[in-house]
Structure 1
Amino acid sequence: MAVMASWNGKTWGVSSQRIAALNGVSSSVELDTENSDDKAGSPATKTKALKLQNMSFDFDLASAVGGDARGEFESWTSLVGQYAPFYLAGRRFGPANLQLTGVSLSDTTLDNFGRILKGKITINLTEYAEEASSKKAGAGGSGKSSSAAGVSSSGGVGRRLSAVTVGASSSDKAAKKPNNAQLK
């Protein structure tokens, strides 16, 4: 069988015994930003991080061409919560690991005995992040970062910054200091 795509041991493709081809793949990458308008001299929009990447796809199964929509749906529901890389045309597509977050069965046709003759299965995957925080947006052009999730390098050069080492500068602290003439 010529394999179109694979994820966690599941494969899609077409052979003389079975037709299980993907109808298409949808993927999205979004930047998480924060708007602030109360600080003078600071940018109005601050880049926080990349949101977790999402991917979805669907495929049709029919008993007439070797598919078992009910069995396949039940098999997928047992995999919800698991994560693995997604391969498209033999190459990894998307982030290193994608977690199965949703499975749905629709467009079914039943016979007189209630057996599912055909159906469409939709799969929803979300980027799997081992740490609670999402990966920080880097300034590098390749998009690849050697930093751990939640740790960003300043402009891609210099020392590593984290929540522990980042703070207000001395001039910012002095500007915030209350100026009470009665205490002098």
Structure 2
Amino acid sequence: MAPEVPSAQTLGSWTLDVEDWHRGPDGKRATTAHHLTLDALRPWSDIPALQDVSGIGTYTTSVRLGDLDGAYLHLGEVVDTYEVTVNGRAVPPGDQVTRRMDLTEVLRPGTNTVTVRVATPLRNRLRVTDGFPAQTSQPRQRYGLVGPVRLVPYRQVRISA
């Protein structure tokens, strides 16, 4: 008989640190830091402090796990490029279509820290940047890790003939 597979978990509470890239007073690129605590994932366009921000967002959450053979991380919607680390170890790139990756090599029993870094396009920032008047008529784009992010455990069972 195969051991029971733990239930899938939706990872809902995250901290989000954003490097906001914009033009500084001297005309050169400047960076502003934003730190938010999110009780649910949503696009930056739906977060007042980030509506017209572009840059890199670092999402961090923790999940407590028991003993398991492995698990997949499903990122759900994520715009634009991303990289994932678990417990400080880089995870090989996932499937760009399904945004799913196997975390078996980096998970451990107990508390695990999941970090997703997302680099966004510049369009939302350009909408409000002097010198880019054609952009202001463009709607805000959905950026960031939108999810839902799910951790889906699995068991490996040896089948004998």
Higher helix residue share: 1
- TM over 0.5, shorter chain: no
Give the TM-score category using the shorter length: 0.3 to 0.5
Structure 1-normalised TM-score? Answer: 0.34
